[in-house]
A and B are shown apart, each in its own frame.
Chain A
Amino acid sequence: GAGVSQSPSNKVTEKGKDVELRCDPISGHTALYWYRQSLGQGLEFLIYFQGNSAPDKSGLPSDRFSAERTGGSVSTLTIQRTQQEDSAVYLCASSPQGGDNTEAFFGQGTRLTVV
């Protein structure tokens, strides 16, 4: 596709359930980021993939959060045993190379609501 695609666009889940969020980056982009944005707040870094290197997981808030990137392309963010404080918009971005001084292209995000 032309841009970063995320699915689903909206997800409502019950507290305690697991959820999976998907990101399709722009073809050929080696770097992929996941962020979380709570209402009225800036973006909070979660995890970063760059090529075949080990991911930078330093932003994951707890061990309930995990992410993988298969074949250097599609990425899935998994949240286990969801809590109400997990409610936020989860944004994925990709960029052509790994340096932070390159433009990142963002998807529309997945709005997660935990009830």
Chain B
Amino acid sequence: LAKTTQPISMDSYEGQEVNITCSHNNIATNDYITWYQQFPSQGPRFIIQGYKTKVTNEVASLFIPADRKSSTLSLPRVSLSDTAVYYCLVGGYNAGNNRKLIWGLGTSLAVNP
């Protein structure tokens, strides 16, 4: 199972763009890259998922280089409400063999006024 490495914490200010990079050197061919956000006392919430190149939705962008050994979550113009822990996960569908995602410590993002 692929493991991920991401910074333990990051600080930013309101209105700035925040980029959180995750390393996953052992990513498998059928693995997708998924990011979740977790606020205190809540369950994680899905942000974005991708396989290669770039994915964008209404809240974030995910950049994945050609070798897929890393990925970068980009949050445009963060606000105080983006203060949370962000988890990077890799995993994929493997027919007949249910796989479980490995959750690391995540990146604790603090957005300051």
Chain A interface (Cβ < 8 Å from any Cβ of B): 4, 33, 35, 40-45, 48, 50, 53, 56, 58-59, 91, 93, 98-101, 103-109
Contacts and interface: CB of A to CB of B under 8 A. Distances in A.
B44 A100 contact: no
A52 to B, nearest CB: 13
Nearest to B92: A101
B103 A44 contact: yes
A44 B91 CA distance: 15
Most buried by A among B49, B92, B103: B103
Contacts of B92: 99-101
B13 interface: no
Interface stretch (B17-25, B68-76, B94-102): B94-102
Interface of B: 31-32, 34, 41-46, 49, 87, 91-93, 98-106
Q: Interface SS of chain B: helix, strand, loop or mixed?
A: loop
A101 B34 contact: yes
B99 A100 contact: yes
Given A91-B44, A100-B32, A101-B31, 16 more contacts: A4-B43, A40-B105, A41-B105, A42-B87, A45-B101, A48-B98, A48-B100, A59-B100, A98-B93, A101-B32, A101-B49, A103-B34, A106-B42, A107-B43, A108-B41, A109-B42
A44 B101 CA distance: 9
B57 to A, nearest CB: 11
Given A101-B93, A105-B46, A106-B43, A43 B103 contact: yes
B67 to A, nearest CB: 19
Nearest to A40: B105
B82 to A, nearest CB: 18
Contacts of B102: 45
Contacts of B43: 4, 91, 93, 106-109
A48 B99 CA distance: 9
Contacts of A107: 43
A80 to B, nearest CB: 23
A58 B97 CA distance: 12
